[in-house]
A and B are shown apart, each in its own frame.
Chain A
């Protein structure tokens, strides 16, 4: 008798704790949804294609506070400001080039993670290929010289034999 009462009690308490736990989880979920909707509310509404453009542009723009990161990767205040600015400009109908142009006008080309191909970036864009070419040429010449040396000694050996 006593044992079944005890069992009932523990079942009830377990049930209540379970309900309470679920309620807490539900509240947390609702709170997260509310937070996300508040965050979205402060951003201009963009279509799906515009949303994709905003993300792509965000990946190409350097964070001015944490220079090794794009504005999408950074949590700095300025990165947040620039993300908002990109979205606002897209909502206003600006093209990607216009947004890039505006930012490079204010911050210089350094703000673009993909620098434009122009005279002062020639070395940056084509330098690695030039080094690869020169290195390849060096390796080719070295291998050729080695080959020549070997045939020369082989010929000497066969002459002696």
Chain B
């Protein structure tokens, strides 16, 4: 009994280390962990921002992309959005804290969006729970968020995650 008592601190340490190792393995800490709610699997916010109306988009699979002309990663992901548009994907853009003139200039190289809404005060971004730009949501025909990317689209994300998911969701009724 006395020996077991002496072992107690060591056992407690081992249990703590094991729990932390398990949490690390499950990606609960570090860069891979999304700190804030992602809304994946939940109904998309229903608030409108002219000309974007979530109610009117029901029945179609689409991407909602928060972006700004002043954000470098948004410019970096622009070519991916153009490619997705060419592939027939519907994309709606929300210009976060930006002016129409700056967006017009930005879109001169090509506009991937079927419509752009202007969120000058940033209040609309809070409805979607965005933490910065760019952020992209994939919404299914029933208005449920199926994918959320916090950061710019990359080849890896588009090819390995987004396109297969889009194909699957388009096939659903």
Contacts and interface: CB of A to CB of B under 8 A. Distances in A.
Interface of A: 64-65, 67, 76-78, 80-82, 84-85, 88, 103, 106-108, 110-111, 134, 138, 141
Nearest to B96: A77
Contact of A82 (B8, B35, B126): B126
Interface stretch (B57-65, B108-116, B127-135, B165-173): B127-135
A80 B35 contact: no
B9 A84 contact: no
Given A64-B131, A108-B37, A78 B9 contact: no
B123 A107 contact: no
B122 A108 contact: no
A37 B160 CA distance: 51
Contacts of A111: 36
B26 to A, nearest CB: 15
Contacts of B122: 77-78, 80-81, 84
B121 A84 contact: yes
Interface of B: 5, 8-9, 12, 35-37, 97, 121-123, 125-132
Nearest to A64: B131
B37 A106 contact: yes
11 contacts: A64-B36, A65-B131, A67-B35, A78-B122, A78-B130, A78-B132, A81-B121, A81-B122, A106-B37, A106-B126, A107-B129
B32 to A, nearest CB: 15
A110 B36 contact: yes
Contact of B132 (A77, A110, A134): A77
Contacts of A141: 5
Contacts of A65: 131-132
Contacts of B123: 81, 84-85, 88
A94 to B, nearest CB: 14
What are the 10 A-B residue pairs with the smallest beta carbon separation, nearest first?
Answer: A81-B122, A108-B37, A64-B131, A106-B129, A107-B36, A107-B129, A108-B36, A65-B132, A110-B36, A110-B35
B9 A138 contact: yes
B30 to A, nearest CB: 13
Contact of A85 (B9, B97, B126): B126
A74 B123 CA distance: 17
A84 B97 CA distance: 13
B43 to A, nearest CB: 12
A78 B9 CA distance: 45
Contacts of A78: 122, 125, 130-132
Contacts of B130: 64, 78
Nearest to B45: A106
Contacts of B128: 106
Q: Among A103, A106, A138, which residue has the most Cβ atoms of chain B within 10 A? A: A106
